[in-house]
Amino acid sequence: MAKENTAPLKGTRDFLPEDVRRREHVLAVVRDVYGRYGFEPLETPAMERLETLLGKYGEEGDQLIFRVLHRGAELGRALDAVRARANGAAPESREEARAAFKRDELALADSALRYDLTVPLARVVAEHQARLPRFFKRYQIQPVWRADRPAAGRFREFYQCDVDIVGSRDLVCEVEVTSAVCEVLDRLGFDDYRVRLNHRGLLRGMIEAAGVPLEHEVSAITELDKLGKVSPDEVRASLVERGVSADAAARLLEVALVATDRRPDAQVLEALEDTLRSERGRAGVADLRQLLALAAHAPCGRRLRLDPSLARGLSYYTGPIFEIQVSDLAGSLGGGGRYDELVGMFLRQPVPAVGFSLGLERILVVMAERGMFPNLAASAQVMVLRLDERTTPEALRAAAELRKAGVRTELYPNIDKLGKQLQYADARAVKLAVFVGEREQAAGEVAVKVMATQEQHVVSSGALVETVRRLLGT
């Protein structure tokens, strides 16, 4: 009989204890810092109504949504509908076949797995408005699911780690979320990152000033977003391919790359302002100026760097945008921005919001590559051995006492030879082994062995906790 496939599904991972400890190390810092900023935790269900998700992530996104199949009678009815259509005429064209497929797909499921944490936030804001504070500062750390083709560092199940302020248009909110993210990175030990800063209004102004027709705005932003991954020449070529004139493409790139000459941000803004003609572009410059002035008094100040080439692919941003860059990673460690027209989508009224999403998986990758994890405690510090049945009561009592004192203690579960138990204690990397033999039992004593040095202390059982604490140095 062939062994069943027990590997986790493509694009998903099992997190063994060491993995969980590393993830928890990062998440504990995130929760602590976000808590200090007054952000509060939110959690939403893994499944959402399909209609809540469809149409929010573009055509491509819709196809990456995992849908949950109907069951029982509902599935029966859906299958009847599929079969009834099949018994009709065969589809005449590719479009008809495509439409039939979409109709059948839609009949088979009406719920789906969460694709991001922003649409659920918008749903929660609409549903629980009366219970939420006027300024809703929430963080949310939960997995999302996308049927992407798995690749290095790209998974079908991965955690998002979002922080947002809902309800204010004030630029101080940009400074707050960015500072919170910077403090997370600082605390984790990152010391070389930059937060690239741009503004959707400024991008619009640049596009207008370069003479790129507005119907090409989305293409232009998509292409600009690739700068850094592909060369300026390639971006220029792609722009032309998408229908932008060669002149306009060249002018756009020139403006976008103005920051690479390393002038101070204020000077770059001044230079840009001179080239802009539209109200929206100038308003963007004014926002950036004010944001940088505020940031000078906040933890994010020294990390921010204006970069007019930053575009961020997502179409929903309406104001400042951000992206965290480290030298040894092509992608970013996270990004965000202001999006004043998304959170209110279910309320059908604008609800201003600004947020940041940290890329947990990437942070973990970089930290592992750079050896940034502290020595994360293996689960147990002490192993209590079991020499025989008669001394097991003493072993149980020793374990209970140590645990009560907060010492992480494993009890060896079987009665094996002492050597075998010590070998296991060694493999489990505990610092101390504790055991009670017949002699110790008779004398009311307990033996404590330091695994590293093999030195052994026999103390009265009343002194166990104190001895262990001393030897652990806690």
- Of residues 366 through 425, those in contact with a second copy by CB under 8 A are 379-380, 383, 386, 392-394, 396-397, 399-400, 403, 406-415, 424
The residue range among 10-18, 220-228, 249-257, 262-270 that interacts with a second copy, by the rule CB under 8 A, is 10-18
Residue among 433, 431, 454, 434 nearest 446 (CA): 434
Q: Which of 55, 58, 77, 86 binds a second copy (CB under 8 A)?
A: 86
Chain centre distance of CA 293: 29
For 138-152, the DSSP string reads: EEEEEEEE--PPPBT
Let me know: does 333 contact 370? Beta carbons within 8 Å. Answer: no
Question: Which one, 172 or 367, has the nearer CB to a second copy?
Answer: 172
Site for a second copy, residues 111 to 130, rule: CB under 8 A: 111, 113, 123-124, 126-128
Residue 361 within binding range of a second copy, rule CB under 8 A: no
Residue 473 within binding range of a second copy, rule CB under 8 A: no
Q: Which of 51, 247, 270, 455 binds a second copy (CB under 8 A)?
A: 51
Site for a second copy, residues 177 to 196, rule: CB under 8 A: 179, 183
- The number of residues that bind a second copy (CB under 8 A) is 116
Question: Which one, 150 or 211, has the nearer CB to a second copy?
Answer: 150
Residue 426 within binding range of a second copy, rule CB under 8 A: no
Dihedral sign from CA coordinates of 380, 382, 387, 389: negative
The residue range among 34-42, 212-220, 365-373, 439-447 that interacts with a second copy, by the rule CB under 8 A, is 34-42
Site for a second copy, residues 432 to 461, rule: CB under 8 A: none
Residue 274 within binding range of a second copy, rule CB under 8 A: no
Residue 432: both structure tokens together: 């101390």
Question: Which one, 1 or 330, has the nearer CB to a second copy?
Answer: 1
Residue 29 within binding range of a second copy, rule CB under 8 A: no
The residue range among 108-116, 257-265, 302-310, 328-336 that interacts with a second copy, by the rule CB under 8 A, is 108-116
The residue range among 2-10, 253-261, 361-369, 441-449 that interacts with a second copy, by the rule CB under 8 A, is 2-10
CA pair distance 324, 192, nearest whole angstrom: 10
Site for a second copy, residues 287 to 316, rule: CB under 8 A: 294, 296-299
Name the residue type at position 262. Answer: R
Helix (H) or strand (E) holding 27: helix 17-36
Shortest distance, position 38 Cβ to a second copy, whole Å: 3
Let me know: does 207 contact 217? Beta carbons within 8 Å. Answer: yes
Question: Which one, 86 or 218, has the nearer CB to a second copy?
Answer: 86
Shortest distance, position 165 Cβ to a second copy, whole Å: 6
Residue 398: both structure tokens together: 């020793």
Shortest distance, position 211 Cβ to a second copy, whole Å: 36
CA pair distance 321, 225, nearest whole angstrom: 12
Residue 96 within binding range of a second copy, rule CB under 8 A: no
Shortest distance, position 402 Cβ to a second copy, whole Å: 8
For 73-126, the DSSP string reads: HHHHHHHHHHHHHHHSPPP-SHHHHHHHHHHHHHHTEEEEE---SHHHHHHHHH
Q: Which of 20, 99, 266, 418 binds a second copy (CB under 8 A)?
A: 20
Residue 135 within binding range of a second copy, rule CB under 8 A: yes
Question: Which one, 44 or 219, has the nearer CB to a second copy?
Answer: 44
CA pair distance 172, 170, nearest whole angstrom: 5
Residue 133 within binding range of a second copy, rule CB under 8 A: yes
Site for a second copy, residues 210 to 249, rule: CB under 8 A: none
Shortest distance, position 43 Cβ to a second copy, whole Å: 4
Give whole-number Cα distances, 462 to 86, 149, 162, 321, 467, in Å. 80, 60, 50, 62, 10
The residue range among 60-68, 190-198, 237-245, 257-265 that interacts with a second copy, by the rule CB under 8 A, is 60-68
CA pair distance 263, 304, nearest whole angstrom: 14
Shortest distance, position 115 Cβ to a second copy, whole Å: 13
First vs last C-alpha separation in the chain:
53
CA pair distance 459, 469, nearest whole angstrom: 13
Q: Which of 29, 54, 82, 366 binds a second copy (CB under 8 A)?
A: 82
For 373-437, the DSSP string reads: ---PPPS-SEEE----STTHHHHHHHHHHHHHTT--EEE--S---HHHHHHHHHHTT-SEEEE--
CA pair distance 204, 277, nearest whole angstrom: 10
**Per-position x/- string for 140-179, each x denoting binding to a second copy as judged by CB under 8 A, each - no binding:** ---x-x-x--------xx-------x-xx-x-xx-xx--x
Question: Which one, 285 or 383, has the nearer CB to a second copy?
Answer: 383
Q: Which of 59, 60, 72, 327 binds a second copy (CB under 8 A)?
A: 72
Residue among 336, 198, 338 nearest 268 (CA): 198
CA pair distance 302, 299, nearest whole angstrom: 7
CA pair distance 359, 366, nearest whole angstrom: 11
Question: Which one, 147 or 237, has the nearer CB to a second copy?
Answer: 147
- Cβ neighbours for 135, distance < 8 A, ≥ 6 positions apart: 165, 166, 167, 168
